[in-house]
Amino acid sequence: MYQIILYLALIIIGYTNVALIFPNFDVIIDDLSIQKVVIGPWTFSPTAVIGFVETCFLIVSAITIIFYGYYTDKKGRKKIAYFGCSIWSLATIAIFFTPPYSYAYLLTFRLITALGISCLAPVGFTILGDMVTPKNRAKVLSFWSLAFTIGSLAGAVLAPAFIGGPTQYDQWRTPFLYVGIIALILTQLLLLATPPKRAARERAFQELIEYKGYEYKYQVKKSDFPVLWKRRTNLWLVINFVDTIPSGIMVYWGIVYFKQHGFDTYTSIFLYIILGISIFLGPFLFGWLGDRWYRRNSKGRLLMCILCNYLSLIPIYIAISTPFSAEALVAAAFVITMFAIGLFINGGIGPNWYSTFLDVNVPENRGTMISLALMFDAIGKGIGPFITGLFVDLQTAFLWAIVIWLISSIFWLPALFSISKDIEDVDSLMAQRSKEIASN
């Protein structure tokens, strides 16, 4: 239990870090004197320029997550976590010391933060995956979605909490100091944690590991990579990263969206929190339903992903296309309700998607495969904030997000034809290994 709480706490504080820039983007633009940039025929607004920092942050995280995923499968997970968390916690503290007018300093240490923070996902997923049986994976991985949501909300609340008064342009830095110090303390506590034994909850190995003391010694090899892509479910789940572009737009610009409709900063944050609550409630319900569906049909979790994706589009489209303002409270309440319903349903995708990756890969490949998928997801989320700055307004950007979301939905469908076979192949391989070990 100690290690679950510790890793979830690190995930929460990590996503708090991720969310610290955008609530204060206007203050940072003024403080660092960020101007529009003209490159040939293209003109990038100050908003797009600060969005470029977060785009680079997410893309660097996406690239380095492959390194962490591979070595999570090959080396000790605690060492990987300690190394990565030490880097990003110290870099976060360094952002507190950003000099005025120094965009390059902020960009540099934001990228160093990204180099370390990407360790959280592969370590966290593989540890949670080794602590629960396959039939309960989506329900337990809902806690990952919960940690992500709490962290994002905490960042949205903490970021503007220190803004105000005659020296407000200095105070956007303060949250980075607190977050970095807390992360550094949690990182030291990793030294006291003992990760679970790999494959300890797999059906074929549970008895060998728990009662006979066997240690799962299989490790990822370079020759595994062609095999991973032969499992077509892996391929289609990774290709579906396109659906993270809309979420990158909505999550990072949510507070700004409400401010553009006439709400003050703190009311916008409050509305963002309401939507956040709906996001983290969804994974628990739909994760539980996905597990139940999976016990009856191996396609159950994937079908739950598809269902949640399509059903969430309807209320989110209604919310985006409905005019509202701070003065029109009835219309605003209706829009918030539609957003909340849509995001509640959409929250069911995460735990079932993560669980499906665990289902179709053997334990020594899961960190690598999850990392590959999250790399593309991070690229999608990184594209979202940046391209938003290219639109005239957020209303237009949000409507295009719906179009991208609808198009991306087709990538779920081919996986339905491969998932049952891929799960059977993994189960057969694990059973074969178990028999060989038991016979020796």
311-333 pLDDT tens trace = 998 999 999 889 999 888 899 99
pLDDT value at position 281? Answer: 82
**380 neighbors 243 (Cβ within 8 angstroms):** yes
pLDDT digit string, tens, across residues 25-46: 888 988 888 887 767 777 778 8
* pLDDT over 80 (residue 208): no
- What amino acid occupies position 219? Q
pLDDT at 45: 81
Burial class (CB in 10 A: 0-12, 13-18, 19+), 334: middle
pLDDT higher than 70, residue 219: yes
- List the beta strands (DSSP E) in 119-205: none
CA-to-CA separations, 212 to 76, 133, 200, in angstroms, rounded = 22, 18, 11
What's the pLDDT score for residue 87? Answer: 97
Q: Which two tokens stand for residue 59?
A: 């893309």
Residue 429 corresponds to which tokens in the numbers above? Answer: 């391989």
Residue 163 — very low, low, confident or very high, per pLDDT cuts 50/70/90?
confident
Comparing 214 with 80, the larger pLDDT belongs to: 80
**Pairing of β 42-44 and β 37-39:** antiparallel
- Tell me the pLDDT tens digit for each residue of 392-427: 567 777 888 888 888 877 888 899 999 999 999 988
Q: Backbone phi, then psi, for 188, in 5-degree steps?
A: -65, -30
How far apart, in Å, do the first and last CA atoms of the chain sit? 34
For residue 2, pLDDT over 60 is answered with yes
42 forms beta bridges with 39
* pLDDT, average across residues 138-157: 83
Say if residue 182's pLDDT is above 80.
yes
Please give the full DSSP string across 376-438, using - where no structure is assigned.
HHHHHHHHHHHHHTTSSSHHHHHHHHHHHHHHHGGGGGGGGGTHHHHHHHHHHHHHHHHHHHH
pLDDT given at position 365: 87
The pLDDT confidence band at residue 185, using thresholds 50, 70 and 90, is very high
pLDDT at 167: 58
What is the pLDDT, as a whole number, of residue 24?
A: 86
Q: Which two tokens stand for residue 323?
A: 């005019």
Q: Report whether 186 contacts 331 (CB < 8 A).
A: no
Residue pLDDT, tens place only, 95-130 = 999 998 889 999 999 999 999 999 998 888 888 778
Whether the CB-CB separation of 415 and 360 falls below 8 Å is answered with: no
pLDDT-based confidence at 386, cuts 50/70/90?
low
Per-residue pLDDT band at 200 (split at 50, 70, 90): confident
Give residue 366's identity as a one-letter amino acid code.
R
User: What are the chain's domains?
Assistant: 1-194 (1.20.1250.20), 230-439 (1.20.1250.20)
Q: Which residues contact 350 (CB under 8 A, 6 or more apart)?
A: 141, 142, 144, 145, 148, 283
pTM: 0.79
The model's pLDDT over 338-358, given as tens digits with 9 standing for 90+, comes to 999 998 998 888 889 888 988
Which pairs with CB-CB distance under 8 Å and at least 24 residues apart come from 237-241? 237/353, 237/356, 237/357, 237/373, 237/415, 238/372, 238/373, 238/376, 239/376, 239/411, 240/408, 240/411, 240/412, 241/373, 241/376, 241/377, 241/379, 241/380
The DSSP call for residue 362 is -
d(CA 3, CA 189): 9
Using 50, 70 and 90 to split pLDDT, how confident is the model at 11?
very high
